[in-house]
Amino acid sequence: MEIQKVAIAGTLESSDAQVTVEPLHSGIELSLESSVMNQYGRQIKATILDTLSQLEVKNAKVIVVDKGALECTLKARIQCAVYRSCDASEKNIPWGGGIR
């Protein structure tokens, strides 16, 4: 998918994550801030990059502010932000089946 505009999903509440995606011309630029960075930073980064790969996002600036979100929540926030950035209609979104 191609990121067409800036989009945000999630909140800054405890146990959630706020994901912002922006268009970028070459590659993935990831900015990650997490309250559990010391414990889970590598796994969070791997989850973000894997989810973007599964969505076939090749060029994007991704900003994630994690407040201790579960992996499933993080995936859902990334998926939502990407779909919002592409103006995907509700009828064309493979919710639940798009990410494995």
Burial 47-84 (b: 16+ CB within 10 A, else e): bbeebbeebebeebbbbbbbbebeeebbbbbbbbbbbb
- For residue 76, the domain's CATH number is 3.30.230.10
Residue 1 pLDDT level (bands cut at 50, 70, 90):
confident
Domain region containing 20:
7-88
> What is the Cα–Cα distance from 8 to 20, expressed in whole angstroms?
4
Residue 63 included in any domain: yes
Query: What pLDDT score was predicted for residue 33?
Result: 97
- Is pTM beyond 0.85 here? yes
Look at residue 88 in the predicted model and tell me its pLDDT.
Answer: 74
Average pLDDT, rounded, for the chain: 91
Q: What are 67-84's pLDDT values in tens digits?
A: 999 999 999 999 999 999
- 5-44 pLDDT, tens digit per residue, is 999 999 999 999 999 999 999 999 999 999 999 999 999 9
Q: Is 10 left (phi over 0), alpha (psi -120 to 50) or beta?
A: left
Q: Specify the number of domains making up the chain.
A: 1
